[in-house]
């Protein structure tokens, strides 16, 4: 019974109450703490893995973008020593 539970003799119920086949096992408070500890460890591990995967995706997209920008800024097709991005319509831009 729920009202008569002793802290050292708690019970863990697997399944929904009233559900046929629901299992109840007597456990100690130490076992409940151990189960909770495992759940916390799994949650932290899952969160860390998710963060690492998300960071990998974001960094790859960022690196791809910066690589394209670098290629555009350093391309010099006419080999005149001035990157094409600083030339307009075939005319060199000058700073006055």
**Mean pLDDT value across the chain:** 78
pLDDT for 27-48, tens place per residue? 677 777 888 889 999 999 999 9
Overall average pLDDT of the 16-31 stretch: 63
Instruction: Tell me: pLDDT of 65 over 90.
Output: yes
Give the pairing of strands 91-92 and 10-14.
Answer: unpaired
> Per mean pLDDT, which of 11-20, 69-78, 80-89 is the most reliable?
69-78
In the three-class reduction of DSSP (H, G, I as helix; E, B as strand; rest coil), residue 3 is classed as coil
**Taking the CB of residue 54, how many other CB atoms lie within 10 A of it?**
10
Residue-range domain boundaries for the chain = 36-88
Bridge partners, 24 (sequence order): 13
Please tell me the pTM assigned to this model: 0.51
Concatenating the DSSP letter of every residue in 11-50 gives EEEES-TT-TT-EEEEE-HHHHHHHHHHHHHHHHHHHHHH
């Amino acid at each position: 019974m729920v009202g008569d539970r002793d802290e050292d003799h708690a019970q863990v119920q697997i399944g929904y109450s009233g559900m046929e086949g629901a299992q109840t096992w007597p456990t100690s408070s130490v076992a409940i703490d151990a189960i909770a500890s495992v759940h916390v460890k799994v949650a932290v591990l899952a969160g860390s893995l998710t963060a690492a995967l998300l960071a990998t995706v974001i960094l790859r997209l960022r690196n791809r973008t910066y690589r394209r920008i670098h290629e555009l800024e350093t391309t010099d097709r006419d080999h005149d020593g001035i990157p094409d991005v600083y030339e307009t319509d075939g005319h060199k831009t000058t700073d006055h």
